[in-house]
A = this chain, B = another copy of it.
Amino acid sequence: MSSTDLHMVVPAGGSGTRLWPLSRAANPKFLHALTGTDRSLLQATFDRLAPMCTPERLLVVTGTAHATSVIRQLPELPERNILVEPFARDSCAAIALAAAVIEERSPGAVMASFAADHLITNTAAFTDTVRHAVEGAAAGKLMTIGITPTRPETGYGYLRLGEPAEAGTVRTVLEFKEKPSAEVAESYVASGRYLWNASMFLWRTDVFLAELAARRPDVHDPIRTIARAWDGDEQETVLAEAWPTVPKVAVEYAVMEPAAAEGKVATVPGAFGWNDIGDFETLGDLLGKDIEGGGRVVDVTGLAESPPVVVVDGDGVIAVPCSSRVIATLGVADLIVVDTADAVLVCRRDRAQDIKKLTELLREKGYVAHM
């Protein structure tokens, strides 16, 4: 990948509550084989990024709860490249920790950060887009890869673009937009001037850390202190002291939005079959197989020859068997049925966006172990 010193970062966090009970705090989305193969989303992310750098330059940031699973799923990753946060401090802390550790190891390197739980079907197009974005990062921009929208999605944030530059694919990002209403989303897509924000970031670590220092010293200072101690004997001591002082804030809010307002953020639009596997509808569309009787079965293990699902007189059933139990449906339409070791969900398909509401009620009722 040219002569640029490129490091890849994968923040592996988030519980994917809209995929409950499949995905949950203790067993989040990125650990599951939601890829159509037996590789987990995390592993598929690793597979996609690994050819662009050496394993020594690929870092994963995760929490204590998932460190063991991450380590087991990625045996190729050097131990020192798994950065374990004592507890979650939102995306700015995670990404700044990676940036600061890389800066210690390779001053002025370019880092690229991609979520652990997104699916990308066209790896060649993705790699090509990253290549262009790395050029912008090397030139000192805070880069993001925005996804060319394929529908007026209300579940994502958007990037508002400036006028097309003279030539090339790099566009200025004028503004980060929160999740829009349906009407606003329609207008965004129609305008051709908006991209989905998929939290893909690329920058020189020195450039990002300087921005962070200027805007959020409360995040920057303890993170730099931690990073300086990271590869030494004092890691645990310094982490224990400094980490709890780091404020919880999203990187978009802390750095990218104000930097965009100053013209420091740019993007390369990407169209490479990106999907965040955000809900069971998507899962059914992407990974489901038609089943006799009227529905689709999503085999999340990627292994079973014949998922244990029997549908009689069904219509639009999405069945997700995650245990060895049989799922049998009779005469039902437009339902999602998910069976796991400790919970079974039966949800009308057009209510799948409200699963979070359901999990909140479960928490209220004391089923905390099921979250």
Does A346 touch B at the CB level, under 8 Å? Answer: yes
Does A337 touch B at the CB level, under 8 Å? Answer: yes
Q: Which residue of B lies closest to A369 (CB)?
A: B326
Q: Of A55-63, A89-97, A350-358, which binds chain B? A: A350-358
Q: Which residue of B lies closest to A317 (CB)?
A: B346
Contact indicator A362/B21 (Cβ below 8 Å): no
Contact indicator A367/B308 (Cβ below 8 Å): yes
Q: In whole angstroms, how far apart are the Cα atoms of A331 and B358 in the complex?
A: 10
Q: Mark A291-305, 1 if CB is under 8 A from B, else 0.
A: 000000000000000
Contact indicator B358/A310 (Cβ below 8 Å): yes
Contact indicator B346/A335 (Cβ below 8 Å): yes
Does A329 touch B at the CB level, under 8 Å? Answer: yes
Q: In whole angstroms, how far apart are the Cα atoms of A295 and B367 in the complex?
A: 19
One of B325, B329, B342 near A346 (C-beta < 8 A)? B329
Does A50 touch B at the CB level, under 8 Å? Answer: no
Shortest Cβ distance from residue A331 to the other chain B in the assembled complex, whole angstroms: 3
Q: In whole angstroms, how far apart are the Cα atoms of A344 and B339 in the complex?
A: 8
List B contacts of A335 (CB < 8 A).
Answer: 332, 335, 346
List B contacts of A337 (CB < 8 A).
Answer: 344, 346
Does A347 touch B at the CB level, under 8 Å? Answer: yes
Does A25 touch B at the CB level, under 8 Å? Answer: no
Contact indicator B326/A370 (Cβ below 8 Å): yes
Does A365 touch B at the CB level, under 8 Å? Answer: yes
Shortest Cβ distance from residue A16 to the other chain B in the assembled complex, whole angstroms: 16
Q: In whole angstroms, how far apart are the Cα atoms of A350 and B345 in the complex?
A: 21
Shortest Cβ distance from residue A261 to the other chain B in the assembled complex, whole angstroms: 40
Contact indicator A346/B332 (Cβ below 8 Å): yes
Task: Count how many chain A residues have C-beta atoms less than 8 Å from C-beta atoms of the other chain.
Answer: 36
Contact indicator B310/A365 (Cβ below 8 Å): yes
Contact indicator A358/B330 (Cβ below 8 Å): yes
- Greatest chain B CB density within 10 A among A346, A355, A361 is at A346
Contact indicator B355/A330 (Cβ below 8 Å): yes
Q: In whole angstroms, how far apart are the Cα atoms of A75 and B173 in the complex?
A: 79
List B contacts of A348 (CB < 8 A).
Answer: 330-332
Asked, given contacts A357-B312, A362-B310, whether A367 binds B326 with beta carbons under 8 Å apart, the answer is yes
Q: In whole angstroms, how far apart are the Cα atoms of A344 and B344 in the complex?
A: 8
Shortest Cβ distance from residue A41 to the other chain B in the assembled complex, whole angstroms: 24
Contact indicator A344/B330 (Cβ below 8 Å): no
List B contacts of A370 (CB < 8 A).
Answer: 326
One of B310, B325, B331 near A361 (C-beta < 8 A)? B310
Q: In whole angstroms, how far apart are the Cα atoms of A325 and B345 in the complex?
A: 10
- Give me 16 A-to-B residue pairs in the complex whose CB atoms sit less than 8 angstroms apart, sorted by A's number: A310-B358, A310-B361, A310-B362, A312-B354, A312-B357, A312-B358, A326-B342, A326-B343, A328-B344, A329-B347, A330-B348, A331-B347, A332-B346, A332-B348, A335-B335, A346-B346
Query: Which 4 pairs, one residue from A and one from B, show the smallest C-beta to C-beta distance?
Result: A331-B351, A331-B348, A330-B347, A326-B343
